[in-house]
Structures are given as C-alpha cells and as structure tokens.
Structure 1
Amino acid sequence: MHTFNTSPLHFLKPLSVAISGLFFISANALAQMPNTKKDLNISAKDKQIVIQELQQSMSKKYVFPEVADKVNVMLNQRQKNGEYDQITSAREFAKTLTEHLQLQTKDKHLNIHVELNEIPVGNANGEPSPEEKIRLDAEERQFMQAVNYGVEKIERLGGNVGYFELRGFGTTEIVGHAISAAMTLLHASDALIIDLRKNGGGSPQTVALIASYFTDPEVHLNDIYNRAENKTTQIWSTPYTAGPRYDKHKQVYILTSQRTFSAAEDLTYTLQSLKRSITVGEVTGGGAHPVDGQRLHPHFMASIPFGRSINPITKTNWEGTGVKPDILTNANDALGIAHRKALENLLTKEKHPGKKADIQRSLDKLMNEKSASVK
C-alpha cells in the first residue's frame, strides 16, 4: 500500500505512519516544525551505525547512483574530519546529516528523521508486519479525518467561480470519498480555482484521481522510474470518476507558492503540461522524486528518493527547478489575480444578460476592493 507523509507544517503525525511505503516530504517544512524538548542522546557507535546504513541505502536505492557515490565519499570525509564527534543530540545529528545530504545533492526529498519511539523492524523487503500495517492504517485514517482529509475549504466566489483549497494528497482509499464530494459540489461552477499554496505533497495515486476530473478517461499523466528495480510505472487518468468530470471548456486555475511541493507540484505540472490549467503564483519548491522510507536504526529513518517522475509530454520534470507559473506573482496576490482573470474570461463568453451582469458586478467589487487595499 502506498502511504505518504505530507508537509509536516500542516500534517503533523508520527514518522512511523510513513514507513510502510512511499511518501513525500519537504525539508523546508521540516525546518518549520514546532520545537520540542524531547530528544535522545546518541553514542558514537550509534552514529556510525546510522551513517553506514545510510551509505548502504544510498548505494542501493538512490535515484542517481553516481550521486550516491559522491554522497558516500562526502560522509566518509566528514567523519574523518570529526564533524560529527561532538554531537550527542539525536535531533541535531539528524538535522546535520540532512543539511550535508542536501548540500551535496540539492535534493529536498532526501532527509533523515528521528523517531522517539522505536521503529519496528520490517520484513526482508522493509515492509511492516501485517499487524503493524493495520495499526499504521488506523493511525493514518484517524489523522486524515482530523484534518478533513486535506480538504481545507470549498467556496463559491463571486461570479460563480469555485474555490478549492487542498492541503495534502492523502492515500486514495482514505481520502477519495472527500475528493469526490468536493468535486461534485464544485461541478456547477463556471470556473475553478485550486489552491495548493500550503500543500506539501502526498500520494501520486490521489494526484491521478484529481487530475482525472479535468481530463478525458485514460489519459497518460506521468511515469515514475524506479532505479533499484529498473522499472517504469505509467500513471493514467481513471476510466471513470465517482462524480461528474469538470467541463473541459471551463477554465481551471492553480495557485502556487514556494511551499507548494512534491505531489502538489505533480498535479500543477501535469495539468499545465496538458494545457488544462493556468498556474498563478510563485515558482514551487522543486521536488519531483518519489521517496521510500528506510529504517537506519531503531530511532532513525531516512527518506531516500528512489526514482524520478517523467512527464510524457515534456519528457522531464520539475526537480530542482520547480513549476514555473503562467502568471508569476506573489503568493499572497495569487487568489485575487486568478479570480479576476476568471471573471474577465467569463465576461467575454457569457450571453445571458442576467449572468453577465452578475459577473460584471463581481468583477467591479473585486477591483474596488483592490483599489481600497492599495490606498
């Protein structure tokens, strides 16, 4: 089962929830996690174990083997220089390793995490026991319910423009019903704004589910190449959706910020490549590598990028560069700009006098509010 760990800034939960499969995580968001006094002491022996396991995992799994080799040389050199000798805090050690890894690779998905509770040992494939899977699934379901399955807000803006703020892409089996309910409510809107400015990522299958509402059935959306298995998995839009697909003639806007990351970038990049959406906001975080959770030690876990996304249209992805908006603007201004653009477009197409007048009133109100805020 594919699980995820979205940006901890919004979806805080124990790391153990993520160890059963794939997950996406933002290092920038990790840096913004609330401070905690709880920590563990780490011995020189344990530090050596963590580094050795990390090096083996990098050699075996990391998406670019030549980069993994350079990382391992770097870690050996830093050890030789004694750079980790004085560290006794587990959290400080994990933070330092993460900084060194990302400095070498520029890969924001490559992280080391500390878990205060002991991380269970998986089977030969690194997967949890059946009992542990049941516990993790229950924990994730409880967590996702607490955050309304990632659906932060659904609203009807002036001029019948729909607004959908999504904070994360949970496991499809858990959040699918909430996504379908949201899309059913938004179906009658004449244009739609999807707000991903505070979305740190999640499940690629849920990305495909949402993208399916804006594409025809069985459209090739993405490929994910797995380096260890030397296998490419294709991701397609679903043959059917639980609710009606969104009218392909209606405009869709996606709002982004520098905090938009991973699976949130996937949806943005995919719909932009298909020319199905207009992106408004800031260049996104730049994380396109799917990640596998790897146990290094009873209290240390690594997120190791094991593959890369390959868009079937561009033949590349957004790793390191981010998704570049069609309309580049400050994230705080993105909603107002997208709403205005949507209203202006609707105004040129609407024939019904009553609806046209309503759109014009909404546009006038929006422009007056903007003028008032400038003064």
Structure 2
Amino acid sequence: MEQHTPPLLLMLLLFTLSASSSFQPALVLEMAKILLENYCFPENLVGMQEAIQQAITSGEILQISDRKTLAAVLTVGVQGALNDPRLTVSYEPNFVPVVPLMLPSLPTDQLIRLVRNSVKLDILEDNIGYLRVDRIIGEETAAKLGSLLRDNIWDKIAHTSSLIFDLRYSTTGQLSGVPFIISYFSDTQPLIHIDTVYDRPSNTTMELWTMPSIKGERYGKKKDVIILISKRTMGAAEAVAYTLKNLKRAIIVGERSAGGSVKVQKIKIEGSEFYITVPVARSVSPITGQSWEVSGVSPTVSVSPKEAVTKAKSLLAVRSSIPNIVQRISVIIGQLYAFTDRVPALQQQLQSTDLFSVISEEDLAVRLNQDLQTVSEDPRLTIKYMQDSSATAEEEPELYKDTDDPKVLAELVDTTFKVKILPGNAGYLRFDEFIESAALMKLEEVMAKKVWEPLKDTDYLIIDLRYNTGGYSPSLALILSYLQDASQRSHLFTIYDRIQNTTTEYYSVSEITGPTYGSKRGVYVLTSYYTASVGEEFAYLIQSLHRGTVIGEITSGALMHSKMFQIEKTDLAITVPSINFIDNNGECWLGGGVVPDAIVVCSLATSRGSKHQTK
C-alpha cells in the first residue's frame, strides 16, 4: 500500500501559516499520536512520527493565531493526504461528550417501546410484506427481545409472498445486529461469512457470519426481497443492504446511501480544546473485498425516495410473472425446436438461469437470450422484447391457384423469370421468388421453353438473386437440377420438420423437360443485402455444392423456417426454428448471411460477373 504519510505531515506542519503568538508543536504531535493509536488504516501512517519530528526540529513550524482557522487547515491537510473525508479536526472549547445509549441495559418495557417506534410492519396487496426498520438493534438487544421479534415481526413476514424491506430512514444501529437480519434471508447451511471488522484501538479483527439457528421462521433464499435505501440510510443499515445485494439476495431501490462508517470517535487532543474525529474501525466484505463505507451502497434501480415503494411494487409484479414466462418458453422449445437433441440442455439452462437482478421484461429477454444462444449456438433461436408490437408466425408464401391453363402458366413464367443474353454470350436469369414446388412442376414444360431453351448455348450463366426474398425451399431441387448433369443423381439437401417429425432428402431431378445447363459451365450467383430466406439457401447451396461463384453483398441473414410466438400477457416473443435445412455435407445451415466469394456493392455485381468470366 502507498505510504502517503511523510508528505501529509510535512503539509500539516507547513500549513500553519501565521506569524505572531507561540503555538506549541505538541498539538500536532498529540494529533499524530491519536491517529497512530486509533485510525483504522494504520498502514497508511507509516513514517508519521519521524516526519513530524524532522519538521519540528528543522524549525519549519509557523503559527496560526486563530484556533478555528487552524482546525480547518489541519482538517484539509489530513483529509487530503489520507484521502479520507471522515477525518476532521475541530476547535470546541465548550464540547460536552454525549454518552451513547446502552440499549441492552434498558428495562425490557423501554426496549419494547423503542423497537416498536423504530419498526413498522404491514401486509400489502398480493401478500407483499412491508417492513420498515429505522434502527438496527445489536446482538444483545436482539437476544433479549428474541420472542417479541419472532412473534411480532419475523413469523408474520415469513408467510408473505415477497418483501419490501424499507431502510430509507435507518440512520443508526449496531453492526452486531447485521448477522441476525442476514440470517433470516439465508438458508441454515452453509454458513456465510458476511463481513470482517477490524478495530484499531484494540487491534482486533472480528468476523461476522450467518447464524446456524435463529428465533423464528427464516424467509429463506427463494422469495423476492427489495430493499429501499436513501441518502439518509447509514451505518449498519448500509451493511445490511450491501451484503444482501452482493449475496444476490435483494434488489436495491432508491438512491445511493450516505456512506457512513462502522465506528467513528471524536477524541480530544490532550492539552488543548481541539478534537479530532477518527474512523476507528473498518469493514471489509469477504464477498467483494471492498466496503460500503464512505462510498455508500449504490441502488440496482435509482428512483427518488418518494417513488421507491411504488417502484418496488411494480418490480415485484414483473418478477412474480418470471416463473410462468420461463415455463412457457421451455414448453414452446420442447414442442417446436428443430434440434431435438439440444432441447434438454436448453430447458435445464432455463431453469438454472440467474435471474436475481432482472427488473423488467426487457432485461429478462436479454438474460434468457444470452443463455439460449450460448447453449444452442443457434442464432435463429431468439427471445425479444417487442413493446407495442405483436408477434406473428413467419408467413408462408401464398399458394398459386391450382390451374393447368397453358396461358396462365405462361404468364406466370413471364412474370417470375427474366431471361436475357448479355454481350459475350452470357446468359442472365433473374427471379425474385421460389415458386411453390407443386406449381413449379406444372410450370416445368413452359419453363423449359421460355427459360432453359434460350440459355442452353450460352458460355456461362448469371443468376440474379439480388431481389429474391424467398419462397419454398423444396423448389430449390428443380432449379438446381438444371445446373447438374442429367445422367447423375446428386443429393442436394435435406429438410427436417420438427412439427411434422419428418426428414425429407432432396435429390436432383433426373427427368426434366428442358435442356440441362450441366455441371461444367460457369455459374455466377448475384446477391445483395435484400437476398433472403430461400434465396439465401440457393446461394448457400451453390457454394456447398461447389457449383458456382457467389458475387455481391452479404445476404440479409433472415431467420428461416421459424415460428414466432408472443408470450401471453407480456411484451416478449420467442422465435423458434422448427425446420432444419441441411446441405449435402450434412451441415445444418443456421440462417446467417451468406458471405459471397467476391464481395462487391449490389449495383456492380452484374458487370463483375462478366469481368470475372473474361478473366
């Protein structure tokens, strides 16, 4: 630890800036002695006596005639050097020490009256307990009033569904009472080390642990507890809030607490009417390695003290719905998720997710989504917060009318497929959707004449999917069959349908009407950010089948073959992939954007395809 002391004491001595009356350096020496014997961070005081003696013997001590000015100067010096705002020096010729009230020595009836005046208990709507405590009583007092506390407080609270623990006005108390309170919100075993307190005057260290047995029924670790704090909350109440927050046992609502101390004493500097206020004990949490002292306890949710109770009630309403939400999500995944082998691990993760500090549906969505993504490694499985929005199932493309009318079929081909012969004898084929496979088979004869016949003698083929937003996956097989050799039957892809519990393998169609383009001539597929769903599947298969080159922009990465469900009475929606699209290598494509072999902006993709072929 850094030793700030020598500069500190030289500063203290050189800060005494006046020129007349004689001021004995004994005041500074006595102040230093008090700090050495009482300050709770003695390691910061190494070298103090040597520095003071050196300054005194060197004759560098000047004088300040006004005692209050001197006290203020000394305060600034000691606070700045030790970086501790609790250290103050005061000049108080008429100071009368206040003898602290020893609660355990009071008659029992007075203790009862005091506790009743500092504790308020109520049972609110929805069986929410409300407990306001304005004084944390110590170990001896708690033991003396054990039956009263049990019958009138703890046993009544024990049967509530959740608790609002109000410490906004708790400005006094004893640290020895903290283990009693923490124990009520913990299980019997294992015991928890909740605090370590070092007392400098006695040079002793005391550990605070939860208690193996207490009077009254424990509240336990499962039911929600919200602690209210304010800038007035101080001392032992801060220790309670800080410990329960970091044990992940309570959500803190309100404003940052006062940042008090375990124990501060005002000590008279011998031979004078000056006093120095010194923190004589310090707390170190074994949970965090830090303390609530000076800095205070920061709330999980910041609101004004006036709004704290209302906010706590709304948080409890949200949190009470969490188990049902998690259960509903678990059921949906179990019924619909296409990776059935991952379902047990996902459901187990949902039940074990740490939702301690979830304070809103949006927060819940983030937590659950992170866990589901980690376990499933499937970007299609998502939970989203969709306020003011209704979730709907992924819409299936509209079925074409069941017709055999040649004129209607010809018009459908003309509106769906655009065919050109570009300079350099390059074939160009654009289609913006994949027609339903049954309709496509009816169109096959017309397609042979209007699409494949014009393209059959081109040197290479550009397939433009820049505006293709999807359609029917089964129709991929027919289109891809024209890019294979008719003499070979090739496995193209497989679809597993979780809802139907069917696995369908798709092969190249050997009996097609038109001339096949074959497997030898170059094929260039153009993509853009708008290329989505089945359009992406086509580009993905072109790469996995090693049948062509994809040129353009990374595709949209649209989630495919998924169902979106609104979680009833919430603004949460879950998207579940119910179909797995598996390529010819047995790899399941999870719907991320297809990365082209050559990335170019959309408007340049056609010319790039021609230049690529020329090269």
TM bracket, shorter-chain basis? 0.5 to 0.7
1:183 aligns with 2:150: no
The equivalent residue for 1:252 is 225
Distance 1:140 1:58 in 2: 37
Distance 2:214 2:309 in 1: 27
**Aligned ranges for residues 1-375 of structure 1 at < 5 Å?**
53-65=30-42, 67-68=44-45, 85-87=66-68, 102=79, 105=82, 107=84, 109-110=86-87, 138=105, 147-148=114-115, 151-176=118-143, 177=145, 179-180=149-150, 181-217=152-188, 218-227=191-200, 231-291=204-264, 294=267, 296=269, 303-349=277-323
Instruction: Evaluate the alpha carbon distance shift between residue 175 and residue 315 of structure 1 in structure 2; reply closer, same or farther with a 3 A threshold.
Output: same
Between stretches 229-238 and 65-74, larger displacement belongs to 65-74
Alignment RMSD (CA, Å):
4.3
Deviation at 1:284, TM superposition (A): 1.8
Instruction: Evaluate the alpha carbon distance shift between residue 335 and residue 71 of structure 1 in structure 2; reply closer, same or farther with a 3 A threshold.
Output: farther
TM-score (norm 1): 0.62
Matched position secondary structure for 1:193: strand
Instruction: Evaluate the alpha carbon distance shift between residue 154 and residue 59 of structure 1 in structure 2; reply closer, same or farther with a 3 A threshold.
Output: same
Deviation at 1:330, TM superposition (A): 2.2
- The one-letter amino acid of 1:272's match is K
Instruction: Evaluate the alpha carbon distance shift between residue 170 and residue 274 of structure 1 in structure 2; reply closer, same or farther with a 3 A threshold.
Output: same
Name structure 2 gaps, 5 residues minimum. 1-20, 326-615
Judge conservation of contact 1:256–1:284 (CA < 8 Å) in 2: yes
| Identical columns (%) | 27
Distance 1:144 1:347 in 2: 41
Instruction: Evaluate the alpha carbon distance shift between residue 304 and residue 163 of structure 1 in structure 2; reply closer, same or farther with a 3 A threshold.
Output: same
Deviation at 1:56, TM superposition (A): 1.7
Structure 1, residues 30-84: CA drift from partner, whole Å, max 9, x if none?
Answer: xxxxxxxxxxxxxx9999987654432111121223655799989x99x966556
Instruction: Evaluate the alpha carbon distance shift between residue 258 and residue 48 of structure 1 in structure 2; reply closer, same or farther with a 3 A threshold.
Output: farther
- The one-letter amino acid of 1:337's match is K
Distance 1:292 1:278 in 2: 32
Structure 1, residues 222-259: CA drift from partner, whole Å, max 9, x if none?
Answer: 11134455543211011111111003210011111122
The equivalent residue for 1:37 is none
Matched position secondary structure for 1:306: strand
Distance 1:240 1:221 in 2: 16
Matched position secondary structure for 2:36: helix
Distance 2:216 2:34 in 1: 42
Judge conservation of contact 1:288–1:317 (CA < 8 Å) in 2: no
TM-score (norm 2): 0.40
Name structure 1 gaps, 5 residues minimum. 1-43, 121-131, 352-375
Where relative contact order (Cα < 8 A, 6+ residues apart) is larger, the structure is 1
The equivalent residue for 1:3 is none
Structure 1, residues 154-185: CA drift from partner, whole Å, max 9, x if none?
Answer: 11122111111111223332245264432222
Instruction: Evaluate the alpha carbon distance shift between residue 119 and residue 45 of structure 1 in structure 2; reply closer, same or farther with a 3 A threshold.
Output: farther
Structure 1, residues 9-44: CA drift from partner, whole Å, max 9, x if none?
Answer: xxxxxxxxxxxxxxxxxxxxxxxxxxxxxxxxxxx9
Aligned length: 291
Distance 1:206 1:112 in 2: 31
Distance 1:112 1:152 in 2: 36
Instruction: Evaluate the alpha carbon distance shift between residue 230 and residue 119 of structure 1 in structure 2; reply closer, same or farther with a 3 A threshold.
Output: closer
- The one-letter amino acid of 1:327's match is V
Distance 1:84 1:172 in 2: 48
Matched position secondary structure for 2:212: coil
Distance 1:146 1:50 in 2: 45
- The one-letter amino acid of 1:172's match is E
Matched position secondary structure for 1:279: strand
Distance 1:104 1:93 in 2: 16
Instruction: Evaluate the alpha carbon distance shift between residue 134 and residue 278 of structure 1 in structure 2; reply closer, same or farther with a 3 A threshold.
Output: closer
The equivalent residue for 2:416 is none
Between stretches 190-199 and 215-224, larger displacement belongs to 215-224
Instruction: Evaluate the alpha carbon distance shift between residue 225 and residue 328 of structure 1 in structure 2; reply closer, same or farther with a 3 A threshold.
Output: same
Judge conservation of contact 1:151–1:179 (CA < 8 Å) in 2: no
| Larger-Rg structure | 2
Instruction: Evaluate the alpha carbon distance shift between residue 151 and residue 188 of structure 1 in structure 2; reply closer, same or farther with a 3 A threshold.
Output: farther
The equivalent residue for 1:41 is none
The equivalent residue for 1:360 is none
Matched position secondary structure for 2:319: helix
Judge conservation of contact 1:168–1:202 (CA < 8 Å) in 2: yes
Instruction: Evaluate the alpha carbon distance shift between residue 192 and residue 288 of structure 1 in structure 2; reply closer, same or farther with a 3 A threshold.
Output: same
